[in-house]
Amino acid sequence: MEEMTHPKFAVVGHPNKGKSAIVSSLALDDSVQISDTPGTTTVKRSFPLKVDGKVIYELFDTPGFQRARRALEWLEGHDVSADKKYEVVNAFIHTFKEDPKFNDEIELLEPIMEGAGIIYVVDASKPYGEEYEAEMEILRWTGQPSMALINHIDEDDYTAEWKRALGHYFKIVRTYNPMDVSLEQHLSILESMAQLKEEWTAPVKASMDFFQHYYDAMLHQSSEAISQALQSAISLTETLYFESDNATEAQKKQLETHYKNSLRAIESDTQKSIESIWKHEHLEKNQNPLSFDDMDLFSEASASLFGLTRKELLMTGVSSGAVTGAGIDLLFAGHTFFLGGAIGAVAGGVGAYFAFNELSEIKVFGKTLGSKYLEIGPMENRNFPYILLGRLLYHTSVIAKRSHAKRDKVVFEMQSSFKEKWLDDSLKKELEKYHKKFRSGKAVDAEEMKVYDTLIYGTLQKLL
């Protein structure tokens, strides 16, 4: 039996009881293959959870038992004392290593006999049956510390009878839903693993500490990504060169479109960064890459759900729709750059009206060589930063809470009360200091960004 350099656990059980979902959830790995079809997992596969290159624990996804009764009959055909039973299990693996009829049993037993602890998974939505006893007895023959996790795949509940039966075979029996797991529940399962064997207590406890630090690090990385997105978006400027005496309406429209698409790209890239930070890199989202469903960054719904109300804008010292400098409507000959006019509040009456006619003024500059260029930015609309920030905070809160075991599409179900969960007058006052600095085009030093990051970090903590 190999000496363990980090805690290892083999997740085993009957086919189609949620083993792979539990591995995916605990390993924070959405690449684990999960299917409703029995027998999807045919070979053991290792899923280590790494933090800064260090494996803090390792899980093995294994096939389900297929011929447990026949395997147990072979084991019981050897009349040995308890201290020799693990040798019989090793002999079983050696004897039937190349025999396809016991392939699944060999695959699941190998990591256990190499030192992995046992996590036996059952589905409490199905009644207990004697056929499971052969599996549990085989696991007892290995002599490895073991615990049982009671999963609930469907609505029926036979938990009580499962607990009575499992208590005869396992030191620890816990319920665990891999589809809906919080940090506290994750740590609770690790705490149970630490209790399985005295020699494992210290390394598993160390893993728990690493995991808590890792979670906090993901929060910090997320806040930094969001902070950088806001700084980049608010300070963004775009230019368009032209050779004629005056810029055409088409050129102004081209610059407008490019500016908005650049802002969308900042949001999209930040979303991807957040998903990568939280190890959700295989998501199938019920939205296009640049919006929440049909809620584009520049949509009325986004302004209503995430932006400030007229009263809130006035409290920040800026009247609704105001911009610095000359009016953009003159440049566009009546064309409104953002949404145009007052927008009726949506999603349950959030806000009264919004007047987002402009994002930023387009300015015309000359060059010494005779050519001219249009420039737009930095962002002068005081409401835009709150729209972008609110959208990124909401996206992060959904991604951070999502179990890695889920394979359904991510659905962003907006609630009109979301802004109330994170934005208050005190925070608005603090944020506005930095938004003003970002708009000014002046350099923002590392210390200032650190304070802004801290504001976002504290906000994420409240939301998660």
Q: Give the integer Cα–Cα distance in Å for 18 and 126.
A: 12
- Helices in 195-327 by DSSP H: which ranges? 198-235, 249-277, 300-306, 310-315
* Tens-place pLDDT, residues 234-279: 999 998 888 777 888 898 889 989 999 999 999 999 999 999 999 9
CA distance 424 to 427: 5
Closest CA to 65 of 6, 17, 33: 17
165 touches 47 (CB < 8 A): no
Which homologous superfamily does the CATH classification assign to the domain defined by 8-196?
Answer: P-loop containing nucleotide triphosphate hydrolases (3.40.50.300)
Chain segment 64-119, per-residue pLDDT in tens? 999 999 999 999 999 999 999 999 999 999 999 999 999 999 999 999 999 999 99
Task: Assess whether the previous peptide bond of 385 is cis (omega < 30° from 0).
Answer: no
Q: What are the tens digits of pLDDT across the range 36-75?
A: 666 666 789 999 988 778 888 899 999 999 999 999 999 9
Query: Look-up: residue for tokens 């005295």?
Result: 198
b/e per residue 132-143 (b: at least 16 CB within 10 A): bbbbbbbbbbbb
Burial per residue of 391-406, b for 16 or more beta-carbon CB atoms within 10 angstroms, e otherwise: bbbbbbbbbbebbbbb
Tell me how crowded residue 328 is: count the other CB atoms within 10 A of its CB.
23
- Token pair belonging to 240: 């368009």
Q: Please, where in the chain does CATH 3.40.50.300 lie?
A: 8-196
Q: How far apart are CA 339 and CA 341, in angstroms?
A: 7
Contact 170, 145 (CB under 8 A): no
Q: What is the pTM of this model?
A: 0.81
Q: What is the pLDDT along the chain (464 residues), one digit of tens a residue?
A: 444 578 899 999 998 888 999 999 998 988 888 766 666 667 899 999 887 788 888 999 999 999 999 999 999 999 999 999 999 999 999 999 999 999 999 999 999 999 999 999 999 999 999 999 999 999 999 999 999 999 988 889 999 999 999 999 998 999 999 998 888 999 999 999 888 888 888 888 888 888 889 999 999 999 999 999 999 999 999 988 887 778 888 988 899 899 999 999 999 999 999 999 999 988 876 544 434 545 677 776 677 677 777 667 666 654 333 333 332 332 222 222 333 222 222 333 333 223 334 566 677 776 555 578 888 889 888 889 999 999 999 999 999 999 998 878 887 776 778 889 999 999 999 999 999 999 988 888 999 999 999 999 999 999 99
